[in-house]
Structure 1
Amino acid sequence: MEPSNNIPTPCEWAGGVEKFEQLTDAFYKKVLTDPVLEPVFRHMPAEHSKHVAHFMAEVLMGPKVYSAEYGDNALRHMVGKHIGKKLKEEQRKRWAQLLLETADEIGLPDDPEFRSTFVAHIEWGTRVAVINSQLEENPTTSEEQIPEWGWGEVKGPYEVVGSLFQKKKE
């Protein structure tokens, strides 16, 4: 989806992929010292932070760096990281809270328009991650892609991956 009237995408407004890399780098350093989150992330690979940054930037209508790395299976790869983890609401809330605190610390834009878009995506995405983490098998199909989250987006109601992620007909 191309922005109209020269309106920047949420990713551009935030400062681009590099700003999301800065965010996740600082964030995951905190995660590893957090009593609620450390048990979930203690064995994450060194590149995890960068992968999350690229996914987040792509969802917020930035460059398709994550998709370029994982190809047609990009969404399946991300969803697969959560399958069987049995995440709890306390972990989801702490993840979102710590991410937003880190966003403030690194100077992610704090204007109401950006923050409402960013927080809406984080809330929606973390809730979907908790739901997917209760599953034993990855529900994604080749007909689904990473969603785009623009200004003022509304998603849902939730379906297991499903129609929200269907590839758009060209």
Structure 2
Amino acid sequence: MVEGTPTIFEWMGGAEALEKLTEDFYRRVLEDELLAPVFRRMTADHPKDVAVMLGEVFGGPKEYTDEHGGFARLLSKHRNRDIKPEQRERWVRLMLQAADAVGLPTDREFRSAFVAYLEWGSRGAMANSQRGAQPAMRESIKVWGWGEAPPVGE
């Protein structure tokens, strides 16, 4: 990354933007016939936990790793859930609708990086949710960057 290039976390508006995103997203999830059964038992703090995890993914504070159990906890939330392809696809679609609704940036560079993570992360979650899955163990959350499309002017 070029020195001075903001992280995706900074570009999207930080923790406040992620909390708005996850609040809107999980409201949509609980109204969705395909995903509501998967999430109906989530705790009241689940949207905030996911915002913290996404913050770390997008280059923000390592709070999820330091205070919430990191990658091991993330894996535990998906183990043996048997996520189906159509559920994964709906999850991505609702996340993108929530991103639009809460006003996340719409520039192509941000959206390219954001969608790439949603696709990559949701496919990993689906794979790791299958019974008998043997996910790779690592200590930390994957930090997602700009890839080949840094912000314009950088």
TM-score by length of structure 1 reads 0.82
Q: Does 1:92 align with 2:88?
A: yes
For 1:37, the equivalent position in structure 2 comes to 35
Q: Compute the displacement of 1:6 (Å).
A: 1.1
Identity score, percent: 49
For 2:151, the equivalent position in structure 1 comes to none
For 2:10, the equivalent position in structure 1 comes to 12
Aligned residue-pair number: 148
Q: Compute the displacement of 1:137 (Å).
A: 6.5
1:115 to 78, 99, 111: 111
CA distance in 1 between counterparts of 2:43 and 2:102 reads: 23
Report the AA paired with residue 57 of structure 2. V
How big is each residue's C-alpha offset from its partner over 1:49-76, in whole Å with a ceiling of 9 and x where there is no partner? 0111111111011111211212xx4101
CA distance in 1 between counterparts of 2:127 and 2:101 reads: 29
SS in 1 for 2:78: coil
Report the AA paired with residue 93 of structure 1. E
Cα-Cα RMSD: 1.5
CA distance in 2 between counterparts of 1:91 and 1:25 reads: 19
Gaps of 5+ in 2: 149-154
TM-score by length of structure 2 reads 0.90
CA distance in 2 between counterparts of 1:77 and 1:144 reads: 10
Report 1:56-67 matches (<5 A). 56-67=54-65
How big is each residue's C-alpha offset from its partner over 1:101-141, in whole Å with a ceiling of 9 and x where there is no partner? 11001000010000000000000000000000003477454
Report the AA paired with residue 32 of structure 1. L
Which structure exhibits the higher relative contact order, with contacts defined as CA atoms closer than 8 Å and separated by 6 or more residues? 2
Give every structure 1 segment of 4 or more consecutive aligned residues whose post-TM-superposition deviation is greater than 4 Å.
Answer: none
Kept in 2, the 8 Å contact 1:82–1:133? The answer is yes
Q: Compute the displacement of 1:4 (Å).
A: 3.5
For 1:151, the equivalent position in structure 2 comes to 146
CA distance in 2 between counterparts of 1:85 and 1:42 reads: 13
For 1:162, the equivalent position in structure 2 comes to none
